[in-house]
């Protein structure tokens, strides 16, 4: 290549010379100019996504360490390590190496516990981050696609967790695989074949651990990394959302510059997450595989629990009855070539709840956009109370999930609270249908009540706790007016009204348009409009507030 | 806010339904900066500086603690030393990390400038770019001639649709075809019932009323190939109850011996071992999903997600008084599958 024009810049320090060397070759200046002072809004709820990212980094670090010692073979061996109670016991090489990591490699147990706690935290933080995004409406245009990428990440994180959970080949994980095998076999037509292909023959076979290992350490983390890259790329493209407040609008982004404040806070936060995970790994035992023993199809311990993120699917399996009012849910269908079996009591709970949750999750941004006819870009978040119907839908889904989740612990609920296991199951079956409805109604009412409270405070100020007696004997509590900034946070939101159906070019309101109008009514019918300056003005006409407005409080009062 | 007139086609409706600008409170702008202690008082700043340094110091101590635990704690084959080392390694790492993390965050919050700044957002797609991009795509398509030459387009679609099929077919050898593997177990006529896992045979006279045994077929422990697979189908629960409590259906009257019955231990729901026997109620409970089977009704499902009763293993005694199987199970054990009739 021909030489580029001679640069005139000569760095003076050694750091400068190194930086300049790199800069001249890859052009870092442009990147730094773009990102060095990029503004990020600040809020505690934005940290869930960071926790997810950092716990993934911790997973990569601790997982790499574990692969150096783990042997994913299901060949038979006899234990000869340091843990005396298992000496001489027949087990797979995989379980043997997991025990060796725990007992014979210094810090191995610590790394296993870090890895497992970080995995639980990863799925948890991804999920909570997703809840935050939903309840604040951050999935709205232009972020719908990033919402979908996030949904894919939730599924991938559960897949990563489950494949990892199965690797040690202990009794608990083996029973988990057995359940998966039972669920796969319930798939019509191809189920038995999938089971035989996955396990390399009959369950448990000698292949499954090696195959899950490849998925767990190669394929799934690679796809997760790719998704994270896309996710973060889109965050850069869109810039971060911000909570509503004074000075914030859809055309700006208010916060701290990346360098130094935001970078320091976010970078420091990685070490905090790592530190907390390390403390958990130090103090709380997770998955003590040496207590369970090697996998054996015969024994099982009572009170077995999957890792928390699989709980809702397991709970669905528990809730579904095999017989419904004397009606069997396993069907033996006579075909011309013979009888085939459709196992709805396994197939339905395995597919339907997860199907509902993920279908709603992936389509919700488009559903809401269609109903509200809102095609604008949104960069200012909704406070959950200011979108009562969405918040109520979200809580209905959350309760739906939690009922299934609780069902996965139905036996522990029964034994801990000394109630009948059957009753727990019956109640949870009822709550499966009623819980989301009750949650919807209650949440919507609470959101509307909070909006009214906001209105009240915006118009009449906050209660000061000072009781004053008026000359004519009446006692009143002095209210202190909010300053402009605090008030703006309470009133600066939109409150859309229901939209009637719009006729098409022929002047007809189509069926779909009528449905849209009905849904719009469902969404926006109950509304508490934000307070207006006129109302504030009118409120101040009532003498009390103004007359007794305390002179000594430092909040700015709106001019009247 | 409130001014959303940015020219999008569908946006009018909602904005109109909201309030006009005049009815709204005006945005007062970013609140004025409130100085922190360290901004006003150099001593407070100095104090914060020391606090950050102390936190970093704690991190150094944490790292030292890690090394002390790694080399100093001797593992002596007891779980106690293992737990101690794990605790100290974790505390060391935890302090090392938290010291750095909290130190940096404290530094950022107390000493770095905390003025909020506002930056304009840029439009994600400019109309000029869109027009240019559409033009480029049109040109590219035009140069390929794909619209004018449908023969090329259609054969390409056909080839691309077929090409991935070998990749799917490649997975065929992941495992054998099921054939009738799920329909039989290693039980056959005369196979002795032996204790799991010791393998000692069971004399009928040793089975007292109310007892329950975990049972495997004789010969399973000696298998070298496919042992777990055989065990996953063949495990059996053996119980003895008062013969009057059993209500055998037609054809099953002689499947038990003097109140001793054997049932498959593999749950017909999704295959967990049905390991819990409630001696008083004669119920078998699966600990995974709580399917409950009533032993007095030939293990009919009385609660939970299972649909089918547990298959019964017909048993008898041999000449020496040991319990043996009359035959294999008369139906496939374990979870249902499509081919099961």
Separation in Å, CA of A309 to nearest CA in chain B: 16
Q: Is A141 helix (H, G, I), strand (E, B) or coil?
A: coil
Dist. CA B17–CA A521, nearest whole Å:
13
Band the pLDDT of A545: cuts 50, 70, 90: very low
B80 lies within 8 A of chain A by CB: no
Query: Is residue A551 scored above 50 in pLDDT?
Result: no
Do B65 and B92 meet the contact criterion of CB atoms below 8 Å apart? yes
Question: Does the pLDDT value for residue B19 go beyond 70?
Answer: no
For the segment A117-161, what is each residue's pLDDT rounded down to a tens digit? Answer: 999 999 999 999 999 999 999 999 999 999 999 999 999 999 999
Residues 6 or more apart whose CB falls under 8 angstroms from that of A303 comprise A411, A412, A415, B287
CA B87 to chain centre: 28
Centre a 10 Å sphere on the Cβ of residue A164 and count the other Cβ atoms it contains. Answer: 23
CB A95 within 8 Å of CB A151: no
Please tell me the distance from the alpha carbon of residue A446 to that of residue A450, in angstroms, as a whole number. Answer: 6
Q: Is residue A436 domain-resident?
A: no
**Chain A residue closest to B176 (CA)?**
A201
B312 DSSP β-pair partners: B263
Q: Is B9's pLDDT higher than 50? A: no
Q: Do A110 and B89 touch (CB under 8 A)?
A: yes
Peptide bond between residue A260 and the one before it cis (omega within 30 degrees of 0) = yes
Do A133 and A46 form a contact (C-beta atoms < 8 A)? no
Nearest to A322 by CA among A434, A181, A425: A425
Q: Which residues contact A202 (CB under 8 A, 6 or more apart)?
A: A196, B181, B182, B226, B229, B232, B233
> What is the 3-class SS of A164-212, one letter each residue?
HHHCCCEHHHHHHHHHHHHHHHCCCCCHHHHHHHHHCCCCCCCCHHHHH
Tell which of A343, A414, A420 to mutate to test the B interface (max B CBs under 10 Å): A343
Q: Is A242 on the interface with B (CB under 8 A)?
A: no
Residue from the list B13, B98, B171 with its beta carbon closest to the beta carbon of A271? B98
Does residue B6 have a pLDDT over 70? no
CA distance A496 to chain B (A): 5
Same domain, A184 and A328: no
Sign of the dihedral defined by the CA atoms of residues A361, A367, A371, A373, in that order: positive
Q: What is the pLDDT of residue A382?
A: 95
pLDDT at residue A157, as a whole number: 97
Indicate if A25 and A96 belong to the same structural domain. no
Domain interval for residue A17: 1-35
Q: Minimum mean pLDDT among A5-14, A424-433, B96-105, B193-202: which range?
A: A5-14
- What distance in Å separates residue B147's CA from the closest CA in chain A? 30
On whether both A108 and A223 belong to a single domain, the answer is yes
Strand partners, B97: none
Among the partner residues B15, B29, B216, nearest to A247 by beta-carbon distance: B29
Structure tokens at A519: 């849904």
Interchain pair B337, A374: CB under 8 A:
no
Chain B hits for A244, Cβ within 8 Å? 1
| Choice between A555 and A424, residue whose per-residue pLDDT is larger | A424
Q: Which residue has the higher pLDDT, A358 or A557?
A: A358
CA distance A271 to A273: 5
Tell me the average pLDDT of chain A: 91
Both tokens assigned to A131: 């809840």
Question: pLDDT band at residue B57, thresholds of 50, 70 and 90?
Answer: very high
- Per the structure, how many domains does chain A have? 4
C-alpha R_g of chain A: 30
Phi, psi at residue A393, to the nearest 5°? Answer: -60, -45
A302 contacts chain B (CB < 8 A): yes
A346 contact residues in B (CB cutoff 8 A) = 269-270, 305, 335-336
From chain A, the residues in CB contact with B171 under 8 A are 197
User: In this complex, is the C-beta atom of B291 within 8 Å of any C-beta atom belonging to chain A?
Assistant: yes
pLDDT in tens, B264-296: 999 999 999 998 999 899 999 999 999 999 999
Both A222 and A323 in one domain: the answer is: no
* Residue B51 touches chain A, beta carbons under 8 Å: no
State the distance between the two ends of chain A, measured CA to CA, in whole angstroms: 73
Reported as a single tens digit per residue, the pLDDT across A3-52 is: 555 557 888 899 999 988 998 888 888 888 888 889 999 999 999 999 99
Q: Residues of A numbered 429-488 whose beta carbons fall under 8 angstroms of chain B's beta carbons: which are they?
A: 484-485, 487-488
Average pLDDT of the residues in A270-284: 97
CATH code of A186's domain: 1.20.810.10
For residue A342, the cross-strand partners are A331
Q: How much of chain B is helix, strand and coil, in % rounded to 5?
A: 40, 15, 45
Query: Which pLDDT belongs to residue A44?
Result: 95
Find the mean pLDDT for residues B175-204: 93
Q: Chain A residues with CB inside 8 Å of B90's CB?
A: 110, 113-114, 278-279, 281-283
CB A306 within 8 A of CB A314: yes
For residue B289, give both structure tokens: 């999903």
Q: What is the DSSP string of B95-133?
A: HHHHHHHHHHHHHHHHTS----EEEEPPPSS-HHHHHHH
Q: B182 and chain A: CB distance < 8 Å anywhere?
A: yes
Instruction: Report yes or no on A433 lying in a domain.
Output: no
CB contact under 8 A, B305 and A484: no
List A333's β-bridge partners, or say none: A340
Q: What is the pLDDT of residue B171?
A: 92
SS3 (DSSP) at A332: strand
Count of other CB atoms within 10 angstroms of residue A540: 18
Among the partner residues B82, B113, B304, nearest to A103 by beta-carbon distance: B82
Same domain, A340 and A254: no
Q: Which residues contact A178 (CB under 8 A, 6 or more apart)?
A: A203, A204, A297, B232, B270, B271, B272
For residue B297, the tally of other CB atoms under 10 A from its CB is: 15
Our CA-based measurement puts residue B216 at a distance from the nearest CA of chain A, in whole angstroms, of 9
| Beta-strand relationship, B117-120 and A252-257 | antiparallel
CATH code linked to domain B182-325:
2.102.10.10
* ipTM score: 0.90
pLDDT average, residue stretch A362-389: 95
Which residues, other chains included, contact A248 with Cβ-Cβ below 8 Å and sequence gap of 6+? A41, A242, A254, A380, B1
pLDDT recorded at residue A30: 87
Mean pLDDT across the stretch A537-546? 59
Residue B69 Cα, gap to closest chain A Cα (Å): 9
| Of the residues A296, A330, A356, the one at which a domain ends | A296
**Mean local confidence (pLDDT), A302-319:** 91
Statement: residue B56 has pLDDT above 80: yes
Residues 191-220 of A with CB under 8 A from B: 191-193, 195-205, 207
Question: For A325-373, how does the pLDDT look when each residue is reduced to its tens digit (9 = 90+)?
Answer: 889 999 999 999 999 999 999 999 999 999 999 999 999 999 999 999 9
Pick B288's closest partner by Cβ from A82, A175, A196: A175
Flag whether residue A39 sits within 8 Å of chain B, measured between CB atoms: yes
Average pLDDT over residues A282-301: 91
CA dist B234 and B51 (Å) reads 66
Residue B7: name the closest of A144, A249, A376 by CA.
Answer: A376
- Check whether residue A80 and residue A16 sit in a common domain: no
Structure tokens at A295: 């996998």
CA distance A381 to A133: 9
Using CB atoms, pick whichever of A189, A252, A338 lies closest to residue B120.
A252
- Percentage of chain B with pLDDT > 70? 94
Q: What pLDDT band is residue B1 in, cutting at 50, 70 and 90?
A: very low
Q: Are residues A104 and A74 in the same domain?
A: yes
> Is A218 contained in some domain?
yes
B180/chain A closest Cα distance in angstroms: 11
Region B10-16 average pLDDT: 34
The neighbouring-strand residues paired with A536 are none
* Contact assignment for B175 to A329 by CB distance below 8 Å: no
Q: How many CB atoms lie within 10 A of CB A189?
A: 11
Q: What is the mean pLDDT of residues A79-100?
A: 94
Q: Note the pLDDT tens digit of each residue in A201-235.
A: 999 999 999 999 999 999 999 999 999 999 999 99
Residues A406 and A357 both lie in one domain = yes
**In chain A, what residues touch B272 (CB-CB under 8 Å)?**
175, 178-179, 182, 300
* Residues within 8 A of B (CB atoms), A 494-513 only: 494-497, 499, 502
A343 to chain B, any CB pair closer than 8 A? The answer is yes
H-run or E-run covering A434:
helix A421-460
Pair A214, A338 in one domain: no
Tokens for A439, please give them: 């949650």
pLDDT, tens only, A492-537: 898 899 999 889 889 898 999 999 999 999 999 998 989 988 888 8
Tell me which chain A residues have a C-beta less than 8 angstroms from the C-beta of B118.
Answer: 39, 247, 252-254
pLDDT, tens digit, for every residue of A248-263?
Answer: 999 999 999 988 999 9
A157: enclosing H helix or E strand: helix A144-166
Residue B242: count of CB within 10 angstroms of its CB:
11
CA dihedral B39, B40, B41, B46 (to 10 degrees): 10
- Cβ of A300 and B287 within 8 Å? yes
Same domain assignment for residues A98 and A136: yes
Separation CA A14–CA A20 (nearest Å) = 10
Residue A302 falls within a domain, yes or no?
A: no
Q: Which two tokens stand for residue A45?
A: 């709820």
Q: Is A520 on the interface with B (CB under 8 A)?
A: no
- CA of A88: how far to CAs of A82, A337, A497, in Å? 11, 51, 73
Cis peptide before A142 (omega within 30 of 0): yes
Q: Is residue A432 part of a domain?
A: no
Considering CB atoms only, which of A189, A268, A319 is closest to B104?
A268
Interface test with A, best of B82, B92, B129, B199 (most A CBs within 10 A): B82
B307 contacts A343? CB cut-off 8 A: yes
Give buried/exposed letters for A495-528 (b at 16+ CB in 10 A, else e): ebbbbebeeeeeeeeeeeeeebbebbeebbebbb
- Rounded to whole angstroms, the Cα distance separating A35 from A37 reads 6
Provide the pairing of β-strand B193-195 with B315-317. Answer: unpaired
A271 contacts B101? CB cut-off 8 A = yes
Chain A residue with Cα closest to B339: A340
Q: Are residues A500 and A517 in the same domain?
A: yes
CA-based nearest residue to A456, from A476, A477, A474, A479: A479
CB of B257 closer than 8 Å to CB of B201? no
Q: Looking at residue A553, what is its pLDDT?
A: 41
Judging contacts by C-beta atoms under 8 Å, the chain B residues touching residue A332 are 341
Q: Tell me the C-alpha distance between A111 and A69, whole Å.
A: 11
Query: Which of A452, A514, A501, A462 lies closest to A483 in space, CA to CA?
Result: A462
CB-based contact, B111 to chain A, within 8 Å: no
Establish if A554 belongs to a structural domain. Answer: no
CA dist., res. A112 & res. A109, Å (int): 5
A559 part of a folded domain: no
- B86, B307, B338: residue with CB nearest A323: B307
pLDDT at A302: 79
**How many CB pairs lie under 8 A apart between chains A and B?**
379
- Given a cut of 70, whether residue A541 has pLDDT beyond it is no
* E-strand stretches of B265-320: 276-278, 283-285, 292-294, 300-303, 312-313, 315-317
The number of CA neighbours under 13 Å toward the Cβ of B243 is 8
The percent of residues in chain A predicted with pLDDT above 90, rounded, is 80
Q: Tell me if B305 and A485 make a contact (CB, 8 A cut-off).
A: no
Longest dimension (CA), chain A: 97
**A459 & A411 share domain:** no
Across residues A467-487, what is the average pLDDT? 92
Average pLDDT over residues B207-229: 92
Structure tokens at B243: 């013969």
Contact list, B117 vs chain A (CB under 8 Å): 39, 254-257
Looking only at the bridges linking them, the beta strands covering B117-120 and B300-303 are unpaired
B309: contact with A, CB 8 A cutoff: no
Does any domain span residue A301? no
pTM (predicted TM-score) = 0.92
CA distance B29 to B209: 84
Indicate if the alpha-carbon torsion angle A500, A503, A508, A510 is positive or negative: negative
Sole residue written with tokens 């794990």: B86
Give me the pLDDT at residue B330, please: 95
* Partners of residue B17 in chain A, C-beta under 8 Å: 496-497, 499
Distance in angstroms (rounded) separating the CA atoms of residues A267 and B45: 22
Contacts of A397 (CB under 8 A, 6+ apart): A357, A360, A436
């Amino acid at each position: 290549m021909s030489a580029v024009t001679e640069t005139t810049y000569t760095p003076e320090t050694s750091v400068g010379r190194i930086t300049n060397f790199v800069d001249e070759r890859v052009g870092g200046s442009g990147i730094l100019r773009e990102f060095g002072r990029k503004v990020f809004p600040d809020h505690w709820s934005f940290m869930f996504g960071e926790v997810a990212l950092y716990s993934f980094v911790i997973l990569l670090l601790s997982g790499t360490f574990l692969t150096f010692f783990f042997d994913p073979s299901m060949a038979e061996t006899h234990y000869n390590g340091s843990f005396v109670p298992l000496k001489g016991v027949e087990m797979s090489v995989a379980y043997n190496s997991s025990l060796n990591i725990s007992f014979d490699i210094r810090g191995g147990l610590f790394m296993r516990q870090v890895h497992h706690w970080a995995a639980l935290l990863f799925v948890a933080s991804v999920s909570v981050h997703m809840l935050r995004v939903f309840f604040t409406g951050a999935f709205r245009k232009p972020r719908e696609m990033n919402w979908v990428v996030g949904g894919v990440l939730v599924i991938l994180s559960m897949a990563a967790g489950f494949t990892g959970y199965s690797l040690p080949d202990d009794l608990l994980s083996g029973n988990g695989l057995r359940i998966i095998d039972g669920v796969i076999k319930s798939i019509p037509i191809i189920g038995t074949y999938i089971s035989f292909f996955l396990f390399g023959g009959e369950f448990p076979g000698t292949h499954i651990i090696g195959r899950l290992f490849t998925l767990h350490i190669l394929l799934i983390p690679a796809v997760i990394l790719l998704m994270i890259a896309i996710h973060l790329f889109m965050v850069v493209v869109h810039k971060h959302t911000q909570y509503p407040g004074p000075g914030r609008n859809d055309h700006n982004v208010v916060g701290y510059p990346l360098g130094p404040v935001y970078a320091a806070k976010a970078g420091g936060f990685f070490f905090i997450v790592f530190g907390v995970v390390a403390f958990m790994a130090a103090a709380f035992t997770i998955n003590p595989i040496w207590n369970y023993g090697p996998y054996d199809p015969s024994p099982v311990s009572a009170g077995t629990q999957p890792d928390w993120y699989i709980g809702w699917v397991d709970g669905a399996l528990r809730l579904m009855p095999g017989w419904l009012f004397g009606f069997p849910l396993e069907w033996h269908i006579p075909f011309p070539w013979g009888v085939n079996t459709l196992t709805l009591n396994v197939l339905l709970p395995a597919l339907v709840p997860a199907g509902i949750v993920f279908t709603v999750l992936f389509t919700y941004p488009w559903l809401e956009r269609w109903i509200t006819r809102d095609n604008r870009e949104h960069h200012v978040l909704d406070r959950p109370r200011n979108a009562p119907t969405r918040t109520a839908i979200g809580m209905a889904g959350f309760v739906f999930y939690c009922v299934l989740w609780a069902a996965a612990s139905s036996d522990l609920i029964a034994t801990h609270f000394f109630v009948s296991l059957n009753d727990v199951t019956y109640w949870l079956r009822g709550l499966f249908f009623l819980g989301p409805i009750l949650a919807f109604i209650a949440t919507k009412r609470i959101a509307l009540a909070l909006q009214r409270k906001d209105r009240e405070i915006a118009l009449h100020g906050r209660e000061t706790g000072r009781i004053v007696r008026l000359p004519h004997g009446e006692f009143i509590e002095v209210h202190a007016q909010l300053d402009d900034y605090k008030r703006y946070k309470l009133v600066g939101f939109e409150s859309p009204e229901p939209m009637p159906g719009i006729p098409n070019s022929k002047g007809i309101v189509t069926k779909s348009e009528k449905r849209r109008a009905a849904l719009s009514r469902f969404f926006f019918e109950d509304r508490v409009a934000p307070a207006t300056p006129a109302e504030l003005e009118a409120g101040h006409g009532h003498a009390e507030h103004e007359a007794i407005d305390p002179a000594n409080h430092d909040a700015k009062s709106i001019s009247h | 806010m409130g001014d959303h007139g940015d020219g999008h086609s569908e946006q009018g409706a909602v904005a109109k339904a909201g309030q006009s600008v005049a009815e709204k409170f005006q945005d007062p702008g970013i609140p004025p900066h409130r100085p922190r202690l360290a901004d006003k008082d150099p001593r407070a700043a100095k104090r914060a500086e020391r606090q950050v340094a102390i936190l970093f110091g704690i991190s150094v101590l944490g790292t030292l603690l890690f090394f002390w635990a790694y080399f100093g704690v001797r593992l002596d084959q007891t779980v106690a030393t293992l737990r101690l080392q794990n605790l100290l390694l974790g505390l060391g790492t935890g302090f090392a990390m938290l010291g750095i993390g909290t130190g940096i965050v404290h530094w950022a919050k107390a000493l770095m400038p905390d003025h909020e700044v506002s930056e304009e957002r840029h439009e994600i797609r400019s109309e000029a770019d869109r027009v240019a991009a559409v033009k480029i795509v049109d040109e590219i398509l035009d140069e390929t001639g794909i619209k004018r030459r449908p023969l090329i387009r259609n054969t390409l679609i056909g080839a691309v649709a077929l090409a991935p099929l070998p990749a799917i077919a490649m997975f065929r050898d992941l495992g054998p075809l099921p054939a009738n593997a799920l329909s039989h177990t290693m039980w056959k006529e005369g196979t002795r019932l032996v204790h799991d896992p010791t393998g000692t045979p069971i004399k009928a006279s040793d089975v007292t009323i109310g007892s329950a045994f975990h049972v495997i077929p004789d010969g399973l422990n000696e298998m070298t190939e496919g042992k777990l697979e055989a065990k996953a189908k063949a495990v059996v629960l053996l119980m003895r109850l008062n013969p009057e409590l059993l209500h055998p259906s037609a054809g099953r009257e002689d499947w038990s011996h003097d109140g001793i019955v054997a049932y498959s231990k593999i749950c017909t729901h999704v295959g967990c071992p049905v390991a819990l026997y409630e001696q008083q109620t004669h119920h078998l409970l699966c600990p995974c999903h709580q399917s409950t089977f009533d032993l007095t009704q030939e293990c009919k499902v009385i609660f939970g997600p299972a649909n089918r009763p547990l298959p019964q293993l017909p048993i008898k005694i041999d000449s020496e008084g040991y319990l043996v199987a009359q035959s294999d199970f008369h139906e496939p054990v374990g979870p249902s599958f499509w081919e099961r009739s």
